Amino acid sequence: MSNLKKVTILAISVIVLSLILFLIAPFVMPLVLLAVAIYLKANYAKIKGAVGESYVNKELEKLGPMYRVFHDLYIPNEKGGTSQVDHVVTSPTGIFVIETKHYEGWIFGEENQRNWTQVIYKRKEKFLNPIWQNYGHIEALKTYLGNQKFHSIIAFSSRSTLKFEDNFNSARVIQIPKLTTVIKESKTRQLSEAELHKINRVLEKLIIQDRRQKKIVQKKHVEVIRNKQKEKVAARAVAQHKTVNRVTTNPCPKYDGQLSIKKGKYGSFYGCSHYPVCRHTQKIS
**Position 90, amino acid:** T
Domain ranges of the chain: 3-42, 62-207, 209-245, 246-282
pLDDT score, position 24: 63
Label residue 91 by pLDDT band (50, 70, 90): very high
Per-residue pLDDT tens digits for 246-269: 544 578 877 777 878 887 777 788
**Position 176, amino acid:** I
Per-residue pLDDT tens digits for 202-252: 999 998 888 888 888 778 877 777 777 777 777 666 666 555 555 445 788
Q: How far apart are CA 175 and CA 179, in angstroms?
A: 7
Is domain 62-207 in CATH 3.40.1350, yes or no? yes
Answer yes or no: are the C-beta atoms of 282 and 259 closer than 8 Å.
yes
Label residue 13 by pLDDT band (50, 70, 90): low
Answer yes or no: are the C-beta atoms of 168 and 116 closer than 8 Å.
no
Sign of the alpha-carbon dihedral angle for 115, 116, 118, 122: positive
Which comes out higher in pLDDT, residue 49 or 209? 209
Label residue 198 by pLDDT band (50, 70, 90): very high
pLDDT score, position 204: 93
